[in-house]
Structure 1
Amino acid sequence: MSIATRQDGNKGAPSRDRRATHDSCVGPAGADPGAEYARLTHELRISEERLEFALESTGEGVWDWNIAADTVFYSARFRAILGLPDDARDDTGYWWSRIHPGDVADPAKFAHYLLGLERRLFVCEHRLRHADGHWVWVETRGNIVARDADGKPQRMVGTITDITATRLLREELETSHQLLAKLTSQVPGALFEFVMQPDGQLVCTYISAMSEEMFEHTPKEIEDDINCLNSRIYQPDRARLRQSLRLAADSMQAWQIDYRVMLPRKGLCWRELCARPTRNGDGAITWHGFTTDISDRKRNEHTIRQFNEKLERRAHYDALTGLPNRVLFRDRLEQEMKHAQGAAHAMALLFIDLDRFKEVNDLLGHDAGDQLLTGAARRIERCLRPGDTVARLAGDEFTVILADMAETSHIEQTAQAILDVLRQPFQLGIEQAYVSASIGVAVYPGDGSEPEELMRHADHAMYRSKGRGRNQLTFFEAGMQEAAMRRLTLSSELRRAQEAKQLELHFQPIVDGASGAVCKAEALLRWRRPNGTLALPADFVWIAEETGLIHEIGNWVFREAARWSQRWSGMLGKPFQVSINKSPVQFQPHARSMNWISYLDQCDMPHNSIAVEITEGVLLNLTDDVHERLDELQRAGMEVSIDDFGTGYSSMNYLKRLDIDYLKIDRSFVSEMLHDHTSRTITETIIVMAHKLGLKVIAEGVESAEQRDWLAAQHCDYLQGFLFGPAVPPEDFEQLLAGKPLLDAPPHRLQSPS
């Protein structure tokens, strides 16, 4: 039953009937009773008229219920509210029958409800049927004004008020509230209304139930004290949030801001606030808006940003060294060239290529090579100023952009610093590796006005450094373009040389130091160019190593040396040993090298028919893999010698690791030993040391009888040089073997072979 009630504080107190009767009226002494009664009746009627008028003027209808007689008096306004006729029945049944069934199912229960509670005043809302059939919402008020001796109600007086319009408005408002609550529950955030008072104080007049999800505070807690939100806002964001609010209030512009909250249960979360201000007449500002949870969006943005940064880094930075790659380098080069052009100053471009890096990479493995490249990158960076750029183009190629160059001396100083740091040994795990660098320099604008041109010229200068012996700096010169073209031509011609049978193998005799008899030979490669000139190894082996042709050429050299060794062994009736040089590149783990031992077995040749000469490049980066390869050759009976011994500072360290058979004293010591005390001492020391280690010695570059005699007196085992003959074609060398010893022959002063 839709009935709302309330009661006053005089519950259960009996009340006297407010209507006076003539039995209870006592007039002044000596007064005429009849006249007095008439006067009082008149006053009572006036009072009742005034009361009824007062009540009618309020729009309320009056009813007077005589409980004992079960009759009801209805005022005119009462009848008007329900559209009742003037002669409406005065019994209660007429009233009860008009009560809505939904408010009371049984009129007796309604009467019991009115009378059963111990109270004087009651208020209830219910519906009554209008005379035309529609329902009227009324508010009924009543008061018990008379009780009998036992306290039972005898009379009630009250009013009804038509509240249909109010009730409908209230229902519409309730429906609106329900709809608002439903809508706000669908909004992924908290709707709010904030009011900023003229004094700057902020109060919350409304916030939806999502506030508990957003801030872990109920709407009531926030509406009672908006400051509870401040404790939830992440400390670093509070000042920014307040400043943003003030600026939005000053400009009366819509306000949107991201901020963070620290919640007891969820931890740090992101929120977004959107609000629009309205200025009130009293100077206050009302903010209507909403705040939403954007934590997922922020996390996604962070993930996307990280992904984009990774893509950006992959696109513009080298994954191994972290340096700018070719793409970013090219962009920076263009920018620096534009800047240099506008500022009217020079800039320099350095091309850096690591010498012997391929040997390290192939001998020690790719992991060691990667460590070396990373270490080289860090060393180069330390040589530069903050505004300079170092990039890795590919492999072991680095570039440096030196900006704002006032004079070339700084270029030279920087390049020399790079050369110095790269010469220092690199610790790669348990191994040490030695490399150097060849640097080429092109200066803008003199050496090129376009990026491609400047890069090409710096590259040419770098190759000039390599051609001059490496580990040095070369500035670009106009003639380098032609040299680069010659280098390209040389590479192309060398690729065709083997097919065209332009490669030749010449042999230089090695004689016994005691008897002077030819007992060995060194096979030396020659290239007979299409124009008829004979090129020495120093002119083309380096390009063969760079292009990888050295593997095919090396295999051809071995087969040719084995063929002539077999022929001469048969001619002499005893094994004749031929030495061949093996490039460090040929020791690479994946080198396309044939199995020499198997080849000798197929030819039915002794394994010591071929001796292998290795260079310092192999010793500088001696890995277990290279050591195993050399050891495999030696176990099979093939002898190994170290060429140019004494010129490398690290060679002595590896004698104990390798089972070497021969040491070849470098020609530089032999040529100086008769008139230079140091060279003579070094030569003598090498011979003594080798003999004490059980090794034999071969002296290279012997060109005079005095040198021969001194070396023989020092018990040098073998001699080699122009005194005994130059490197000649195999047919000519065969004639030497067939004749008498060459010890008495005059020296041939030809160009020294490489």
Structure 2
Amino acid sequence: MATDNAKSLPTGHYVTNDPLHQLFDAIDSISVQGYDEQRQVTYWNKGSEILYGYTKQEAMGKRLESLIIPEPMQEPVIKAHSDWVTLGIEIPAAELTLSHKDGSEVAVFSSHVMLTNQYNAKQMYCIDIDLSDVHKAQAEATLNASMLQTIFEAIPDLFFVLDHHGTITDYHASNKNDLYISPEQFVGKKMVDVLPDKVAQMFKLNIEKALTYNEMVNFEYELSMPDGTSYYEARMRLLPKKNQIMMIIRDITDHHRSAELIRHQAHFDSLTALPNRFLSLDRLSQMLGSVKSKHEKAAVFFLDLDNFKKVNDSLGHEVGDKLLIEAACRLKNVLEQGDTIGRLGGDEFIILISNLNDESNAKAITERLLNAFRKPFRLEGRELILTLSIGIAMSPKDGTSASELLRNSDTAMYQAKALGRNTSSFFTPQMNTAMQRRFEIEEQMRGALAKSEFEVYYQPQIDVQTNTLIGAEALLRWHNNKLGAITPDEFIPIAEQTGLIIPIGEFVMKQALLFLKRWQATNKQKYTMAVNLSPSQFRDPELLDMIIHSLNENNINHECLELEITEGVLMNSQDSIPDALKRIGELGIKLSMDDFGTGYSSLSYLRQYSFDVLKIDRSFISVITDNKANCNLVKAAIAMSHSLEIEVVAEGVETKEQLDLLNALDCDIAQGFYLSKPLPAEQMIAFSLE
């Protein structure tokens, strides 16, 4: 290196100290630079490259001020260097902010030494130590101290420092009103001496625990404060090096009250304040344990409000809620102290009564319950009649477990519904026959798709005015090897309740569109296909993507598909329903309202959503020729639909007279047994009106 430097300086007066440079070269954590009398770089080690960004080749021969000295400092630095060279005034070591090659600031502690070589030429060496980490640490320490102070001031917790005897030596309170007593009354005194006896004993035990186990100790306690009872959580831990205990006290009154509210909400119905399903079943289990030990009888009454859904849908949920509250009050007034009445959900209630002698006691209670609902409800200026259907299961005769009694009383309630409502029914083993049938259907249904037991039939739809075939409705049929033929009215509700309707509905959609592709190609006609969608299917987020994929896969025009939905879909409270209906319209798929006339808000839905088709329920069509009033109802529905530019389909056409009248009423489309029963695919392909 000495030889290289000598060659770079023509005067030959600068001979470097190789051993010294070898030492500096071996240390890259410190920046060392050498300068001649004209402040030109004669030495630049690896540490300088790292600290300032200039390579040795870039720095050699450059002047000090043009490399790392900021412009405001250049003149003083030149003067200081000159004074040292000419006057012997040393440059003192100092913290400086110099410049990096990229223009950023570099904080260093810079010290200097001046050497004279054998040619009496002076060389200055600068030794710079990077202070960026030190400054960063100092800044973080300052910030942390400031943050800690801010935290202490901001948080409402109380802080106490105790010595190992439990004496309070220091404290912090952002609000002194939070203190139990004034600081003058507790500083310098033992914590256990300034608190009520019960609380003081808790502190004593936990302070001993913190001293013994050297771990975080926490516990809760309550104090009587000027504004009432407050609840607190104390956390304490020993600081071994100082032999002190740090204690943090937090007011958890709001949390405690919220927890109490949550516990209440978890056990009581928010609308009626009655025990909810969870608490009711828990009390039922407790009651059964008690009557078993006493060899007593108990009864479970399962109550359902008759036709509540109709009232709720037609008059609104606000009126429905008021009805439920009033119904709960009437039920409570009938019962005696100690009896339990709970709300299971919706319009279903449960009553638990123990210490009964026989069924006659339960029957008497049932009569009182039914009588309580024979008086009209007066709400919002209306008089409403709301009756009860009651199912009763007795223990131990009808079951000894909560689940068994609940199930059997529910079964008995459905029997009361079947008897005409506004009555009661005791459970009998024969009622389980119907339930057993349901279980068998559900069990067989789970494997029906895999066994190819389902088949899609197609009922032709006819243009009433031209008497031409325009399309069909896809209808599902099921034949099971064990149960035989099962009607849709029997298995569809079960599929809906179990969630099996989703895969079954997908099967129907794919089969119907596959058939439609073949049907259109065979007869060279642009037929339409109507497919029913249940409420559960419509809640499936993948439904529309599946439909679009099937349409595209079969190369079917979107307007050839008609999706039939009932009011049950529209009554769903999900926010996604309007968006899904809008997307159906944007895709060009037809939307049909099925079973029109059987709901309670159909007209409002027709106004709210863009329906293309309205299907008048068969119950209206079957009586259309009976009298003028029935005919006028259908006529009005057709006229209203046409005014909204909606096509009308008449379901259940069974006679020529009905078809002729529908033609006269300007009905658009008809289907029914008079035209054709539902047909399997091959017969549908060959079907003709001729």
TM-score (norm 1): 0.49
Post-superposition offset of 1:410: 4.7
What does residue 642 of structure 2 align with?
691
Pairing 1:45-444 to 2, within 5 Å after superposition: 313=264, 323-324=274-275, 328-334=279-285, 336=287, 347-350=299-302, 378=325, 381-385=328-332, 387=337, 388-391=339-342, 399-401=350-352, 406=361, 408=363, 410-411=365-366, 414=369, 440-444=391-395
Post-superposition offset of 1:475: 4.5
Counterparts of 1:325 and 1:353 in 2: how far apart (Å)? 17
Counterparts of 1:590 and 1:467 in 2: how far apart (Å)? 36
Cα-to-partner distance string for 1:300-341 (whole Å, 9 max, x where unaligned): 999999699679658855799865456643443255558889
Aligned match of 1:578 in 523, 529, 541? Answer: 529
Tell whether the 8 Å contact from 1:355 to 1:470 is kept in structure 2 after alignment: no
1:486 aligns with 2:437: yes
Aligned match of 2:520 in 569, 588, 593? Answer: 569
Pairing 1:625-640 to 2, within 5 Å after superposition: 625-640=576-591
What does residue 610 of structure 1 align with?
561
1:682 aligns with 2:627: no
Tell whether the 8 Å contact from 1:355 to 1:471 is kept in structure 2 after alignment: no
SS at match of 1:672: coil
Give the direction of change, closer, same or farther, for the CA distance of 1:716–1:460 in structure 2 (3 Å limit): same
Tell whether the 8 Å contact from 2:299 to 2:392 is kept in structure 1 after alignment: no
Cα-to-partner distance string for 1:107-158 (whole Å, 9 max, x where unaligned): xxxxxxxxxxxxxxxxxxxxxxxxxxxxxxxxxxxxxxxxxxxxxxxxxxxx
SS at match of 1:555: helix
Tell whether the 8 Å contact from 1:337 to 1:347 is kept in structure 2 after alignment: no
Aligned match of 1:657 in 594, 597, 608? Answer: 608
Give the direction of change, closer, same or farther, for the CA distance of 1:604–1:532 in structure 2 (3 Å limit): same
Give the direction of change, closer, same or farther, for the CA distance of 1:409–1:641 in structure 2 (3 Å limit): farther
Aligned match of 1:527 in 467, 474, 478? Answer: 478
Cα-to-partner distance string for 1:83-105 (whole Å, 9 max, x where unaligned): xxxxxxxxxxxxxxxxxxxxxxx
Q: What is the percent sequence identity of the aligned residues?
A: 33
Cα-to-partner distance string for 1:443-472 (whole Å, 9 max, x where unaligned): 456534554432231243356679999999
Count of equivalent residues: 443
Counterparts of 2:423 and 2:582 in 1: how far apart (Å)? 35
1:619 aligns with 2:574: no
Counterparts of 1:622 and 1:313 in 2: how far apart (Å)? 27
What does residue 280 of structure 1 align with?
none
Give the direction of change, closer, same or farther, for the CA distance of 1:267–1:685 in structure 2 (3 Å limit): closer
Post-superposition offset of 1:695: 1.5
Counterparts of 1:640 and 1:472 in 2: how far apart (Å)? 41
Post-superposition offset of 1:510: 0.8
Counterparts of 2:606 and 2:290 in 1: how far apart (Å)? 56
Counterparts of 2:618 and 2:668 in 1: how far apart (Å)? 15
What does residue 499 of structure 1 align with?
450
1:453 aligns with 2:404: yes
Cα-to-partner distance string for 1:414-434 (whole Å, 9 max, x where unaligned): 479899999x99xxxxxxxxx
Counterparts of 1:381 and 1:532 in 2: how far apart (Å)? 43
Post-superposition offset of 1:605: 1.2
Tell whether the 8 Å contact from 1:419 to 1:437 is kept in structure 2 after alignment: no
Cα-to-partner distance string for 1:189-231 (whole Å, 9 max, x where unaligned): xxxxxxxxxxxxxxxxxxxxx9x959xxxxxxxxxxxxxxxxx
Give the direction of change, closer, same or farther, for the CA distance of 1:592–1:493 in structure 2 (3 Å limit): farther
Tell whether the 8 Å contact from 1:349 to 1:454 is kept in structure 2 after alignment: no
Post-superposition offset of 1:607: 0.2
SS at match of 1:496: coil
Counterparts of 1:315 and 1:627 in 2: how far apart (Å)? 33
In structure 2, the gaps of 5 or more residues are 1-164, 168-181, 187-222, 231-246, 381-385
SS at match of 1:497: coil
CA RMSD of aligned residues (A): 5.2
Tell whether the 8 Å contact from 2:459 to 2:677 is kept in structure 1 after alignment: yes
What does residue 599 of structure 1 align with?
550
1:726 aligns with 2:677: yes
SS at match of 2:447: helix
Counterparts of 2:374 and 2:449 in 1: how far apart (Å)? 37
What does residue 77 of structure 2 align with?
none
Counterparts of 2:568 and 2:468 in 1: how far apart (Å)? 32
Counterparts of 1:679 and 1:268 in 2: how far apart (Å)? 70
Give the direction of change, closer, same or farther, for the CA distance of 1:419–1:526 in structure 2 (3 Å limit): farther
1:552 aligns with 2:503: yes
Tell whether the 8 Å contact from 1:316 to 1:325 is kept in structure 2 after alignment: yes
Counterparts of 1:457 and 1:561 in 2: how far apart (Å)? 41
Post-superposition offset of 1:518: 1.7
SS at match of 1:706: helix
Tell whether the 8 Å contact from 2:275 to 2:341 is kept in structure 1 after alignment: yes
What does residue 429 of structure 1 align with?
none
Post-superposition offset of 1:659: 1.3
